[in-house]
Structure 1
Amino acid sequence: DSLGDSRTVAAFDAAMDTMREANSWIVDLRDTPGGGDTNVAEPILGRFLSKAAEYQQIRPTDAPEWVKTAEPHGDWTAKGPVAVLVGRWTGSMGEGLAIGFDGIERGEVFGSDMARLAGGVEDYRLSQTGFPIRLPAYDLAHLNGTPRHEWSPPYQVVADNGDGPDLALAAALDW
């Protein structure tokens, strides 16, 4: 659950470098409830892109909607199929990555419905008290227009059955 930690990009790059010769990939987002930052998520997505790609619609409450673009990242591009694993503990930026992989047709998403968070928030500080608050500022959507909180993985499978075989991982490996 470190999609909000700037050190994640370097750690992900280092891990990718150890698997440079891989011909297929699994990105497990099932334990990302804490949200994150596009400055972390976009380089992760970018490792799988050979050219810039639009991956998510942004729908502000007070401005025209627009589309986020991810750029290629790193000195090489991961080739081959990508399976993305998601579930109820996939939240916020994890959800954004999942719909991004699906929307740009760079990954197949396996699992159960995600946290279904309804959009992005912005931080504000109350002028009289200095207390911070977070308020909804925009909705997010798949490139096909489906609101992120209504989108479901195309490959529905139990994401985490607790004790027993990992059914989502098994489905991805069988794919």
Structure 2
Amino acid sequence: MSERDRDRDGEGRARSARPRDGLGRPLPYGAEGVERQPEGVVRTPAGTVAEAQRLLDGGMPFHAHEVFEDAWKSRPGAEEALWRGLAQLAVGLTHAARGNSVGGARLLRRGAGALAGYGEAYGIDTAGLAGWARALAGRVEAGERIDAAAEAPRLTGPPGTV
């Protein structure tokens, strides 16, 4: 396929039109996939958390990562570490569920590090999420098979509900 023949979005940027599964893996053209998240959506923090939680609960952490990435790019700079860390947790869970133990553990720990010491924000238990991510990273490195929906963390709620 030449550069000219590549799939492009409405603005002319290269973007694969292949459908994707819940873990973001490309499927063959014509296959039924998961609806992709639109890019560049500006949501309220509560809207971001609610949409990401819906996707995590549905076993779609790759798509939740895209929601967090939009927040990371659109929220004030002081919140960058929060949203970037949450995006890293979601993509770490994605890699872990795909069987990529090295990448999954690395991203889970990187996300946990970004959240460490951040404190609670928008009802998000960042300390609980960091602990969940570190524990999951250890299980992934030990060779445990990970089911994304079964491992989906609770983003909000009292400590210990992650």
Q: Which has the higher contact order (CA 8 A, sep 6+)?
A: 1
Please give the TM-score of this superposition, normalised by the length of structure 1: 0.30
Please identify which structure carries the higher helix content.
Answer: 2
Please give the TM-score of this superposition, normalised by the length of structure 2: 0.32
Please identify which structure carries the higher strand content.
Answer: 1
